[in-house]
Amino acid sequence: MRILLVIATILLFTTAFSQMSDSTHKADTLALGRVMLIKKNRYTDSSDHSITIKKDYFFIWDKRKKKQSIISTKWWMMDLGFANFRDNTNYTSAQSMGYCKTVNGVPISANSFGLNTGKSANLNIWFFMQKMNLSKHVLNLKYGMGLEMYNFRYDHSLSYRNNPAPIVFNDTIGFKKNKLYLGYLTVPMMLNLNATPHRKNGCMVSAGISAGYLLGAHDKEMCAERGKQKYHGDLGLQPWRLAGISELGLGPVRLYGSYSLNALHKASTGLDQFPYVVGIRFSKW
């Protein structure tokens, strides 16, 4: 341990004196990174530095901006937004395809998929995001990886089942809670235009596409008769999700949005629904 301390001390002083010898102030200056110790009356002030006087020396903090790297990384970002979908389904045609079942004479209709919009939510956890400079840090390529989670909260007793084959139907009892959960492993890729590249809370806009793979889905139901039940499986859902995505930054506020380019369910179900999301991104990056 003593040997390591001696070596570290030698390296520290070697670096300090090396920087001091390279400084434009020669023997009157000791520079360690962006901090300099300069003897009084040996330094000319400029707008790039701030000065604090202590005894016979100036302590200088160099405020000149560091050179930005070509690639920058942000770890662990979170989004929170409202989820909904555009429904283009022809329910008369969908009834003939076997996925939409009629139970007790009540067929599936657009009303069956009515959402409680205040409780239908999207939560995204981004493991990382990176920006690659394309032109003066104003134009960047932005990409990453994360988990997108959707909760579609239904107002009606809509039920999904996966055995023996995926079906959806209007249940015969009332639910206290009824939601469809979807979780996607997603890779987004966007072009980013940053009007203020040297400010944290500037103005920027991004647009691009994302590709997500369905990691898991379940229908969660709560009622007095059955208690709490979860029905897992693919439930007739598309395994892949492609979406157009965007984000907008105005000062400290970051907004995001996405719109699915392919339908939520498989073509064999006859359903033609396209989810979309609008929300807040909790990041200044």
Which H or E run includes 13?
helix 2-22
Closest CA to 175 of 128, 115, 228: 228
Share of the chain above pLDDT 90, in %: 67
Q: Which residues contact 56 (CB under 8 A, 6 or more apart)?
A: 39, 40
More confident residue, 78 or 105: 78
Summarize pLDDT for 149-197 with one digit per residue, the tens: 999 999 999 999 997 899 999 999 999 999 999 999 999 999 999 998 8
Other beta carbons within 10 angstroms of residue 119's beta carbon come to: 15
Summarize pLDDT for 49-71 with one digit per residue, the tens: 444 444 555 555 555 556 778 99
Place of tokens 């040997």: 3
Average pLDDT, the chain: 85
pLDDT the model gives residue 259: 98
The amino acid sitting at 210 is: S
Query: How many CA atoms are closer than 13 Å to the CA of 244, on its beta-carbon side?
Result: 4
Task: Quote the pTM value.
Answer: 0.77
Q: Left if phi > 0, otherwise alpha if psi is -120 to 50, otherwise beta: which for 251?
A: left
Statement: residue 12 has pLDDT above 60? no
Order the strands of the 100-101 sheet from edge to edge: 100-101, 167-170, 158-161
Alpha-helical (H) ranges within 23-105 are: 91-95
Which H or E run includes 204?
strand 203-223
Q: In the structure, what pLDDT confidence band is assigned to residue 25 with cuts at 50, 70 and 90?
A: very low
Domains of the chain, start order: 2-62 (no CATH), 71-282 (2.40.160)
DSSP reduced 3-state for 256: strand
For 14-120, list the strands marked E by DSSP. 29-32, 35-39, 49-54, 57-62, 71-87, 100-101
